[in-house]
Amino acid sequence: MRWQGRRGSSNIEDRRRMGGGAAIGGVGGVGALAIVLIGYFLGVDLTPILNGGGGGMIQSGPYEPTQADEEAAQFASVTLADTEEVWADIFQNQLGQTYEPTTLVLFKGSTQSGCGGASAQTGPFYCPVDKKVYLDTDFFILMDRQLGAGGDFADAYVVAHEVGHHVQDLLGILSQAQRGSQQGADSSAVRIELQADCFAGVWAYHAQTQLGTLEQGDIDEALNAAEQIGDDTLQQEAGQAVRPDSFTHGSSEQRERWFYTGYQSGDIGQCDTFGTRDL
């Protein structure tokens, strides 16, 4: 993705210097942090691969971002700005509505959200209570090194997926789906997640056609990321049996397919994961 030197979003809340007990390296030592999640919470569930992965060091006090951190933050900010541009346009032209942007909270280690405490283990998520996206940019490192989902557009896909939850929130889809089942291959939770993947694909289509920011290989990076964070793949990587009745985000095949459905059409009307017979 072409992002260097481009405009970032003003809707960034940077809490990285507040410290808060970071797990050095971003992924170790999470077992030492109490994770209290209240309310509805839409993130990448890393529990399968992070359980029992303790042993890291706990850092406390103020934190000074490294150059790599700053680059990751800048990348997230430019990606967020691109989502604002694309979704403002879609809301206006396809829905006749005004898009209200979300705020992206950047943190390091742990922080508080309207949906409870966040840490490296929770992964990036959207909280509908305060309408903010939470991201510890160390997650990008984890994706690259531990999940086999490298490349800048893999990271962009994650940001776009979380923004997709915000779009669902604005459209009233999230509050409706919250009343449904929260686990299982056919659950509301999985349908919500696959739709967010589809919305990320819709965004990618418009980033390409409207902004011209995609580069060769970007879509493959996003598809690979979708594959690597599918419930079945995460369970397998953790040495567990694949149990569709415990799915919360959808299988690798589903996540790839719904991202691609959005990307091919650029039309949110193609993202009806609730009405389809072919989830």
Q: 31 and 120 in contact (C-beta within 8 Å)?
A: no
Residue 46 or 196 having the CB closest to Zn ion = 196
* Shortest distance (Å) from residue 46 CB to Zn ion: 12
Nearest residue (CB) to Zn ion, 156 versus 196: 196
Least distance from C-beta 220 to Zn ion, angstroms?
A: 21
Q: Where are the alpha helices (DSSP H) in 179-278?
A: 188-206, 218-228, 231-237, 252-265
The distance of closest approach from Cβ of residue 24 to Zn ion in the complex, given in angstroms and rounded to an integer, is 27
Query: What are the tokens at 161?
Result: 């997926």
Binding site for Zn ion (CB under 5 A): 42, 193, 196
CA distances from 86 to 39, 43, 133, 160, 164 (A): 29, 22, 17, 11, 12
Q: How far is the CB of 17 from Zn ion (least distance, A)?
A: 27
Q: Give residue number: closest CB to Zn ion.
A: 42
Q: Is the dihedral of CA 104, 108, 113, 119 positive or negative?
A: positive
Pick the closest to residue 126 from 137, 136, 138, 135 (CA basis): 135
Nearest to Zn ion of 101, 128 (CB atom): 128
Q: Which is nearer to Zn ion, 90 or 167 (CB)?
A: 167
Give min distance, CB of 60 to Zn ion, in A: 30
Residue nearer to Zn ion on the CB measure, 106 or 196: 196
Q: Contact at 8 Å (CB) between 191 and 254? A: no
